[in-house]
Amino acid sequence: MSSALTIALAKGRILDETLPLLARAGIEPLDDLSSSRKLVFSTNDPNINLVLIRSSDVPTYVQYGAADLGIAGKDVLAEHGGEGLYERVDLKIAPCKMMTAGFAERPLPRTRLKVATKYPEITRRFFLEQGRQVELIKLYGSMELAPVVGLADIIVDLVQTGNTLKANGLTPLETIMDISSRLIVNRAALKMKNNAVRALVERIETAVE
C-alpha cells in the first residue's frame, strides 16, 4: 500500500472554502483546480494527493478506500449513512441549515404529506421521528419549483440566506439540522497508515483553530 495519502475534495461551493483551509495546513495543489480539467492533483507535499469529485461521491470514495480522507458537507454524510468511515473534524466551513420550507399561509394536509427533496433518507428519518406519514418525491434541482406548481406540499433543502425561497414565495418552516463541512477518514487507512493519517488530521485541526 502506498504511503502517500489521497484527500477527496468536493467540487463547487465547498471547494472555494476548502482550499484556503488546506493552505493554512501547508497543503497546496500544484495546479489551479478551478481551470484544470484534471481530476487527480499533486500538491507541494509529495505525500499528499488530491482528487476532485462530486460532493455526493466523496463518502463513497472514502468508504471504499479510493481516497484515504475526504471533505464533505454534513448533509451528504447524513444521507450516505457514514458506513466504513470516521467523521473526524468539523471544519466549520460552508455553513447552512437543512430545513423544511413551504407557503407560510397555506395549511398543510392532515393526511399524507408530499415532500420534494434530494435528501430522501434524512427526510424519511425526520418525519418518522415525528410519526408523520410522507410521500417522498426525489428531485435533483430547483426544489423551490415543486410547491409552486403543486408537485409537493413542502420541500426539504439546504438554506443559506433564504433569498431563493423568498423569491419563489416560500418560507423556511422547521430546521432539521445545522450543516457544515467535515473531514472524514477511511477506517482501513486509519489502521494501515495510522501515523501519516493522524499527523495530517492534526495539521488540519490546527488550521481550523
Q: What is the pLDDT of residues 98-123, one digit of tens each?
A: 999 999 888 888 889 999 999 999 99
Residue 86 bridge partners (DSSP)? 185
- Phi and psi torsions of 35, nearest 5°: -110, -20
Rounded to an integer, what is the distance from CA 138 to the centroid of its chain?
Answer: 17
- Say whether pTM exceeds 0.75: yes
Alpha-carbon span 98 to 190, nearest angstrom:
30
Domain 5-94+180-208: homologous superfamily in CATH: Periplasmic binding protein-like II (3.40.190.10)
| Residue 156, all three cell numbers | 426539504
Q: Residue 1: which pLDDT band, with cuts at 50, 70 and 90?
A: very low
Rounded to an integer, what is the distance from CA 27 to the centroid of its chain?
Answer: 21
- 192 pLDDT more than 80: yes
Among all chains, which residue has been given the C-alpha cell 410522507? 134
- Phi and psi torsions of 68, nearest 5°: -80, -35
**pLDDT single digits (tens) 112-156:** 999 999 999 999 999 999 998 899 999 998 899 999 999 999 999
pLDDT at 82: 78
Query: What does the pLDDT average to over 174-199?
Result: 94
| Residue 99, all three cell numbers | 430545513
Query: What does the pLDDT average to over 71-84?
Result: 91
Query: What does the pLDDT average to over 18-28?
Result: 96
**pLDDT single digits (tens) 4-14:** 999 999 998 89
Residue scoring higher pLDDT (70 or 164):
70
pLDDT at 141: 85
Q: Considering the chain, what percentage of its residues have pLDDT values greater than 90?
A: 80
Which residues make up the CATH 3.40.190.10 domain(s) of the chain?
5-94+180-208, 96-178
Q: Report helix, strand or coil for 18.
A: helix
Architecture of domain 96-178: 3-Layer(aba) Sandwich (3.40)
Q: Residue 35: which pLDDT band, with cuts at 50, 70 and 90?
A: confident
Alpha-carbon span 40 to 6, nearest angstrom:
9
* Residue 180 burial by Cβ neighbours in a 10 Å radius (0-12, 13-18, 19+): middle
